[in-house]
Amino acid sequence: MSAKQPNISLPLKLTFLIFSMVLNCMGIVILQLSEQNITYDKLGFLESFKDIPIAVFSLFAVNFISRFGTKKSLIFALMLVGICSLFLPFVEVFWFFKLWFAIIGTCFVIGKICVYGIIRNNMTEEKSLAKTMNSVEASFMIGIFVVNTGFGWLISSQFGEYWKFGFMSISLISFFTVFLFVKAKIAEPENKSNKILPDLSGFGKLPFILFFAVSFFIIFIEQSFNSWLPSFYKDHLKVNSFFALQASSFLALFSYTGRTITSKIIHRFSLSRYFMMCLFMIIFLLAVISVIQFNFTERPKVLLFLFPVIGLFLSPLYPVINSKMIAKIDKDKINTFTSLIVIVSSVSSSLNSMTISLLFKNQILTYYSLYILGAVMMVSVLAYSYFKISMNKI
């Protein structure tokens, strides 16, 4: 990640790209399976099969990575993703999607902890870490764009019935990334732990509680878009599946732009002020969208273009708040800290999917933007409190 290890940059970005595609294909799966008479309440619980294994395995993953090493753990996770994605097109039953997402979620835990650990071990200064974090996380947004665009074209083509074969391309990228990691030299942390569960002491302090609360609602907001925006476009705005996925791709494109710009200019600003400015812009855009929804009932197509712009300001929030906290964490606790982040994220994602599915099931999608706005307001209050707390006490 640093100038001393330029060969690490590409595989780390590809790792986030891969996990972005497999995690954020949820919107595509929901969209396609809803046309096969699978109800929204069942699809709402589908996300739980990804998130619950993430939450359960996160704490044990620290010990797993410590025993086998960062490099071997990453290679194992990527190989498993590649193999499972290779078999997915040939299985027709719904339960396999549950199993597939459970495996993907477990591998994602390993991948994210390893990537964050490598970044923390190579970056010490807060703003440099924020720049690197945004740069790597930007590839996560590219993954969302690629998966929505690629599957959108495939679904709308004459080969639309073979849409699941698109997962084979993810397998190829996974195997290529494994090849890069095999060749790469990665410095392994010196500390080795034989404990089944990591040391959680110190993580109950108020700054950590506020940080995890902020992270919870940021993921809550992001998943409201990433998993459900295509279905919102199709069900509420009455556009076809292809256009729903393409419009959602623009959200990812704006998100990539937001993180890329942030990585270039973040050193010029206070992290807290930059964070709050992004929140203000999200609130403004959601307020405009809500006014349009409630005053123009003819399903205005302008919403197709307003929702993606939110990604420009939403995408920097997660890397900025993470980098600000990670810079304060001791290197020997970074894996444990990352596992807690993953747990909070998975719980947030699962709860959000279950609750937002009720909006779709009861056909009250006019409140979609207000639902998200409520979460943004919670982030604003919690983030303001978080930034007021002295971080020197951590």
Domain count, the chain: 1
Q: Which of 140, 139, 151 is nearest to 88 (CA)?
A: 151
pLDDT above 60 for 394: no
Sign, CA torsion 163/164/165/169: positive
Give 325's DSSP letter: H
Report which listed range, 100-104, 195-199, 202-206, is most confident: 100-104
Summarised one tens digit per residue, pLDDT across range 231-244 is 788 777 777 777 77
Give residue 348's pLDDT. Answer: 86
For 85, half-sphere exposure in the C-beta direction (CA atoms, 13 angstrom radius) is 26
Please name the residue that has the structure tokens 């302008």. 302
280 found inside a domain: yes
d(CA 22, CA 20): 6
CATH of the domain at 220: 1.20.1250.20
Summarised one tens digit per residue, pLDDT across range 84-143 is 999 988 887 878 888 888 899 889 889 988 887 777 776 666 666 667 777 777 788 788
67 found inside a domain: yes
Q: Report the percentage of the chain scoring pLDDT > 90.
A: 18
80 found inside a domain: yes
CA distances from 359 to 29, 46, 58, 81 (A): 18, 16, 30, 32
18 found inside a domain: yes
pTM value surpassing 0.85: no
- List the domain range (segments joined by +) for residue 325: 6-191+199-389
- Is 96 or 300 the better-scoring residue by pLDDT? 96
